[in-house]
Amino acid sequence: MAGKLYIVPTPVGNLDDMTPRAIAVLRDAHLVLAEDTRTSGVLMKHFGITTPMRSHHKFNEHDTLPALVEELQGGSIIALVTDAGTPAISDPGFLLVRECRRHDIEVETLPGATAFVPALVNSGLPCERFTFEGFLPQKKGRASRLESLAAEPRTMIFYESPMRLVKTLEQMAEVFGADREASVSREISKLHNTTHNGTLSELATYFKANAPRGEIVLVVEGKAPEATVKVDKYAKFKQKHINQLKNNE
């Protein structure tokens, strides 16, 4: 009988955000795949979970896929976790899930922590429609990606490192417009979590003077629709009548 792959979200900062079901799945699994076994080891120890762990990260995931599929086909129950948040959201996980689907192996993703959701709601920007962009390219393709998003009408969400935040805000101010509203949330759910709102220009100035630390979520207002000029139907008719009179003179 084939096994099953569980995708298990873990807290992005506060260990109290771990769900009872996630703890139970990690305890009952035959194997836990962890992005960093040292980081996940702290979590496992905190909750008294002794399930064997194995490294599964972006540098080895291509090579380990065949063996993992074989284990799952043999009946193993495997849980995948990353350092924080939901696997496959700007973290390893997509390749393994895709391979399981290709081999008809059951996959179940537990609901749980994702950093961009609270950051989006905290921003005060429209959140009924949005686009999650993850990390921008660091070098090649960065400028073209920003240019392609300049006309995006939906709220945009980005992950960014504190070292590149000011540069990103300045580039966005240049491409999107300095007055575009934005929000920077850092250390979501942790002791020193903060959210700063303002225009892209204002935020760039603030973080130049106050170097950011920790995990960053940047939320940016979408482009406002072009203003439409309402035509006064009577004025239009009046002008047409005047033009006809002039032509008859």
Q: Could you list the beta-strand ranges (E) of the chain.
A: 4-7, 31-34, 53-55, 77-81, 106-109, 130-135, 155-160, 181-186, 194-199, 216-220
- pLDDT for 237 equals 56
pLDDT at 1 over 90: no
φ, ψ of residue 160 to 5 degrees: the values are: -150, 150
pLDDT at 191 over 90: no
Express each pLDDT in 85-140 by its tens digit. Answer: 999 999 999 999 999 999 999 999 999 999 999 999 999 999 999 999 999 998 89
Contacts 24+ apart (CB under 8 A), 127-131: 127/155, 129/154, 129/155, 130/154, 130/155, 130/156, 130/157, 131/155, 131/156, 131/157
Burial of 79 (0-12, 13-18, 19+ CB in 10 A): buried
Q: How confident is the model at residue 229 (pLDDT cuts 50, 70, 90)?
A: very low
Q: Which residues pair with 31 in a beta bridge?
A: 78
What pTM does this model have?
0.84
Express each pLDDT in 41-71 by its tens digit. Answer: 999 999 999 999 999 999 999 999 999 999 9
- pLDDT for 192 equals 86
Sign of the alpha-carbon dihedral angle for 103, 104, 108, 113: positive
Q: What percent of the chain has pLDDT over 90?
A: 84
* Residue 23 Rama label (left phi>0; alpha psi -120 to 50; beta): alpha
Beta carbons of 206 and 166 less than 8 angstroms apart: no
pLDDT at 233 over 80: no
- pLDDT for 96 equals 97
Express each pLDDT in 167-190 by its tens digit. Answer: 999 999 999 999 999 999 999 998
Where is pLDDT greater, at 234 or 226? 226
